[in-house]
Amino acid sequence: MEKSTQEIIKETAQDLLEKMGFEGPVSVTVETAGAETFSCLIDVAYDQNLLIGQYGMNLAAIQHLIRVMLRKKTPGRLNVTVDINGYFSDKKALLEQEADRAAQEVLRDNISVALRPMLPYERKVVHTFLALHPDII
């Protein structure tokens, strides 16, 4: 019997966690907003800061590793987002609030607003959020 893409993602994430000396439940969900996106949620009981790293850098690296590992196991590229103990979803909400405040300022004062320097995944979240505002360029 052939494994589903979700099962492959879950096994890959669990294998990587075990090799890194961590354990915890892994769940994978499918989000279908345009292109199919998989969310891999990992819950660890201890040392989450080691997995997340400063400003989420380790989490970004883990996500990259999982994506690279999946390329060998699945045909084509998969859009997979990895989150550890809800860090990414919390960060995404904060980034969206920051982008919304900047957008409101732009619309209210009709001026350009510069945002702070961001990591690539943070910029993607902001760009995706601002793309929903047709009045913002």
Per-residue pLDDT of the chain (137 residues; tens, 9 = 90+): 568 888 999 999 999 999 999 988 999 988 766 667 889 999 998 888 889 998 888 998 999 999 999 998 888 788 888 999 999 889 999 999 999 999 999 889 988 888 999 888 789 889 989 998 888 87
- Of 86, 85, 71, the closest CA to residue 9 belongs to 71
DSSP conformation class of 53 = -
Phi-psi bin for 55: left (phi > 0), alpha (psi -120 to 50), beta?
left
pLDDT at site 25: 93
pLDDT at site 34: 61
pLDDT at site 33: 61
What is the C-alpha separation between 24 and 38, in angstroms, rounded? 19
